[in-house]
Chain A
C-alpha cells in the first residue's frame, strides 16, 4: 500500500472515530460538531457567506502587501548591502523585528489607518518585511566573486554591475525571502482580519464563531487551511521554476 494512501486513510479513519464518538455522546456536539455536519455546511458557508468574494478580498490584501514588501524589502536590502555601516547597525534590528509579535501593535495601526483594509495591509506589510530585507542582503552578499570580477573586467558602471550581475545572481535567494514574506503576510492578514472583525476570510471565522455556528466555523477554518495550503503550494512551484537547478 502506498504511503500517500495510508495518510489519507488514517485521516478518514480519524474523522470516522470522531463522528462515532460524537454520535455516541462521548464528545459533546455543542463543542465539536460531527464531521458529516461540517461537510454538509460547506455549501451553505460558500453560498450564504460569500466565501468567494471574501477570498478575493483577502487575496487582494495579500497581493497589495506582497507588492509593497517586494518593492520596499528589496530596496531596503540593497541599500543595506550597499552601505556596510547601515547594515552593521540595523541588520540585528531587522532580525529582531522578524521575531517580534508585531500583531500586538494592531490597535495603533487601526487608529492611524482606520478600521479598513489599509490597517490589515500595513500590518501584513510590516510583519513580512524583515525576511525580504534579510534574504536580499544574503543574496547580494553571496554573489559569486567570479561574476563580480567578470563585470569589473568589462568595465561595467556600478549601475550596470547591479542590474546585470548582482541582482540576477541574487534573485533566487531574494525570491526565497519574498516567499517567506508572503506567507508571513498571509498569516498576519488573516490574523488581523480575525482580530478587528473586518475584511475577508479571517472575519468570516470570527463572525461564524460569534453566531455560535459551530459547523460553519469548522467549515470556514477548513476553507482557510485549504486556501493557505494552495497559496503555499503556488509559491513553492514558482520558487522551483525560478531555481530549477536545486
Chain B
C-alpha cells in the first residue's frame, strides 16, 4: 500500500516540462529577442548584427551547399591528424616522463611552463616550415594537443597504485606489458587524450 501511495504522489507531482527546461527555453528566447532588437534598432550596423531570418537563410544556404561538407571533412581530417600525431607523441613523452623520475625532473618543467603559452605565436614559423596548406594547421593543432596530453599522462603515471606496479614486477612483466596491462594508465591516457582533442580543434 505504502509503495503504491508513493508512486501515485511522484507521478502527480512531475510537471510536463521541467522548470530547468522552461528556464533554458526562456533564456534562449530572451537572447534571440535581444539579438533581433539589436538587428532592427540601428544601434549597430545592420550587416554586423543581421536579423535572425537572414542568419537562418544563410545557415540553410550553407548547409545545403556541398562545399560546406567538403570543408567540414577537411577540418575534421586536420583535427584527426593533429590529434593522432600530438596525442601519440604526447602519450609517448608522458609515459617516458612518468616512468622515469630523473627525466621528469630534467624536462617536465619545460613542458609545464610551455603548456600555457599562446600557441598561435608559432603560426608564422609553422607556415614557413609546412606551407600555407593543411600542414601548418595540423602542426599547430599537434602543438596544442601535445602539451596537455604529455603532462596529464605523466601525472597519471605517477598516480598509479604502487601495489599494481609491484604485482607487475612480481610477474616479471616487461615494460611494454606494464604499459599495456595497467588499466590506470589507460584511463589517464584516455582522459588526457579527450582534453587534448578539444585543444587540437581550436
Contacts and interface: CB of A to CB of B under 8 A. Distances in A.
B163 interface: no
A36 B125 CA distance: 17
For chain B, what secondary structure do more than half of its interface residues adopt (helix, strand, loop), or is it mixed?
helix
A190 B123 CA distance: 12
Interface in A182-228: 183, 186-188, 190-191, 194-195, 202, 205-206, 209, 214, 217-218, 221, 224-225, 228
Given A3-B102, A101-B202, A224 B117 contact: yes
For chain A, what secondary structure do more than half of its interface residues adopt (helix, strand, loop), or is it mixed?
helix
A10 B107 contact: yes
Contacts of A24: none
Contact of B117 (A11, A85, A99, A228): A228
Contacts of B110: 7, 11
Interface in B82-114: 102-107, 109-110, 113-114
B121 interface: yes
Contact of B45 (A101, A111, A209): A111
B128 interface: yes
Given A194-B121, A224-B121, A225-B114, A7 B106 contact: yes
Nearest to A202: B121
A194 B123 contact: yes
Given A194-B121, A202-B121, A209-B124, A7 B201 contact: no
A21 interface: no
16 contacts: A3-B106, A7-B106, A7-B109, A11-B110, A31-B128, A85-B19, A89-B20, A101-B201, A108-B48, A111-B44, A186-B118, A188-B118, A190-B118, A191-B118, A202-B118, A218-B125
Given A7-B109, A111-B44, 19 more contacts: A3-B105, A3-B106, A4-B105, A4-B106, A7-B110, A90-B27, A112-B44, A112-B48, A183-B116, A187-B116, A187-B117, A190-B121, A195-B120, A218-B125, A221-B121, A221-B125, A224-B118, A225-B114, A229-B117
